[in-house]
Amino acid sequence: MENLIIYVISDSVGETAQHVTRAALSQFSLQDDCDIRRFPYVIDEKFLIEILESGKNENAIIVFTLVDEKLSIKAKKYCEDENLSHIDLMTPLLKEIFNKTNIKPKREPGIIRKLDESYFKRVEAIEFAVKYDDGKDPRGILKSDIILLGISRTSKTPLSMYLANKNIKVANVPLVPEIPIPKEVFEINPKKIIGLTNTPEKLNVIRQERLKALGLSSSASYAKLDRILQELDYSEKVMKKVGCPVIDVSNKAIEETAGIILDIMKENGLKIYKGATCC
């Protein structure tokens, strides 16, 4: 049998057409007797015709996923005129979806890849937030889009995760009077730093509840008002030294505080990723 040649043509990466082609070939046990040639990013007619002419010379099957309507029509017409075996994987499905929804397709190559990239950026940001949560590794400070400073129970971790879901890499650093501040905090652009604070009364209640949840006595120093006041005084001095904006989270939902942080980032000219809008 003559070796089967299949041309896969796409105005994006072409992975979709290649996967479908391989899935079809698996039904014939022809993988070893077939040559699949992928032609990605075909975005002009001249290049398309050159590929089709080559396919004609090799008696290839033409498989294409061209969302650009002009290119799709051109490919189909050429194949019909030259009696070339061809499969348009995209147009029939687009037509059926349009018929059902009456919504015109965007006809924009590579949209699914852009969505995938956004997803992977979000996963990367979430993994980053987990890795550099609560000052675990100060090296993350230098790699961050934003750094959150604050004493215990000022919403650093939930804010880090919320912002990570908007593709923003966040490291958070706890402020404890007895523990030296990582030197990296003073090595980065202070515009990247956000201070978080809370009222003594609210912290007192939250910390007592936290101790109870851990099965510890609510009378521990951690939840005592004088200790909280000491920590707040210390954090205020640190934030003044750093020169960062400070947000009081006492009466704010996570979404509201995140929105303020995003606004500050924009005002400071920091990169806001596509889709990183508040609420």
pLDDT digit string, tens, across residues 194-250? 999 999 999 999 999 989 888 999 889 999 999 999 999 999 999 999 999 999 999
Please check whether residue 238 is in contact with residue 175, taking contact to mean a CB–CB distance below 8 angstroms.
yes
Side chain identity, residue 48: L
Give the residue, 131 or 118, on which the prediction is more confident: 131
Give the type of residue at 188.
Answer: I
Average pLDDT over residues 115-138: 86
Radius of gyration of the chain (CA): 29
Token pair recorded at residue 205: 């209640």
Is residue 113's pLDDT more than 70? no
* Residues 84 and 56: beta-carbon distance below 8 Å: yes
* CA separation, residue 201 to residues 130, 136, 148, 255, 264 (Å): 29, 28, 22, 22, 27
Distance, CA of 120 to chain centre: 5
Average pLDDT over residues 252-262: 94
Residue 103 has pLDDT above 60, yes or no: yes
Where does the pLDDT of residue 145 fall: very low under 50, low under 70, confident under 90, or very high at 90 and above?
A: very high
**What residue ranges define each of the domains in the chain, with the CATH number in brackets?**
4-109 (3.40.50), 118-267 (3.40.50)
Residue 53: pLDDT band (50, 70, 90) is very high
Strand partners, 195: 149, 246
Burial class (CB in 10 A: 0-12, 13-18, 19+), 108: exposed
Helices (H) and strands (E) in the chain, counts: 9, 8
C-alpha–C-alpha distance, residues 207 and 228, integer Å: 9
* pLDDT band at 272; cut points 50, 70, 90: confident
Residue 36 vs residue 276, higher pLDDT: 36
Q: How far apart are CA 229 and CA 225, in angstroms?
A: 6
One-letter amino acid at 103 equals I
Overall average pLDDT of the 114-121 stretch: 71
Sheet containing 86-88, strands listed edge to edge, beginning at the edge strand earlier in sequence: 34-39, 4-10, 61-65, 86-88
Name the nearest CA neighbour of 173 among 189, 184, 187, 162: 184
CA angle, residues 96, 98, 104, in degrees to nearest 5: 150
Helix axes 254-267 and 156-164, enclosed angle (nearest 10): 70
The answer to whether the beta carbons of residues 149 and 176 sit under 8 Å apart is no
Task: Decide if 127 contacts 91 (C-beta within 8 A).
Answer: no
Q: Is the pLDDT of residue 276 over 70?
A: no
**How confident is the model at residue 239, as a pLDDT?**
97
Backbone angles phi, psi at 222, to 5 degrees: -50, -35
Calculate mean pLDDT across residues 135-159.
95
Mean pLDDT taken over the chain:
90
